[in-house]
Amino acid sequence: MLPLHSDAVVLTALCAGLGSAALVDSARRRIPNAISLGTAASGVVLAASGASGITLTSSLRGFFLGFALMLPGYGLGGTGAGDVKLFAAAGAVVGAGQIVPAFLLTAIAGGLLAVGIAWWRGRLLRTFRLTARLFGRSAGAKVDIEAPGEHNRF
């Protein structure tokens, strides 16, 4: 049996965790804690065993950094708590050195996807206006930016 390369181990863990989360989230509009916990645990175990090529310290730092990077989006109402927990889990798998680039690429891809969906639904200008309102509000102020059942999600 050939030994697995650490990149293949990391990619397998990410595909299993994030892929299953995407499937469940698209069907149920929520990410179960078991998926996030299992992904985080696999990242920590792989790091502790040396199979992922990152240290246990990097895995734990990646977890907390991933959590910290996503928390403001949750506070602004742009992401759900499941997204925050799942990104923290991804940080445990990829480590502290890769979670910031992963966050930037995820933010760019998510932004492009949101713009594409808004354009497809004929709501692009309204979405830009509501986004400006979201970022223009004072801290702690609640702004209802969407009517019930109205959003740019699939």
Distances in Å between the Cα of 36 and the Cα atoms of 28, 33, 59, 133 are: 15, 5, 14, 32
Tell me if 40 sits within 8 A of 63, measured CB to CB.
yes
What pLDDT is recorded for position 1? 43
Q: Which whole number is the average pLDDT over 41-58?
A: 94
**For residue 150, what pLDDT band results from cuts at 50, 70 and 90?**
low
pLDDT tens column, 89-146:
999 999 999 999 999 999 999 889 988 988 898 888 888 888 777 777 654 455 555 5
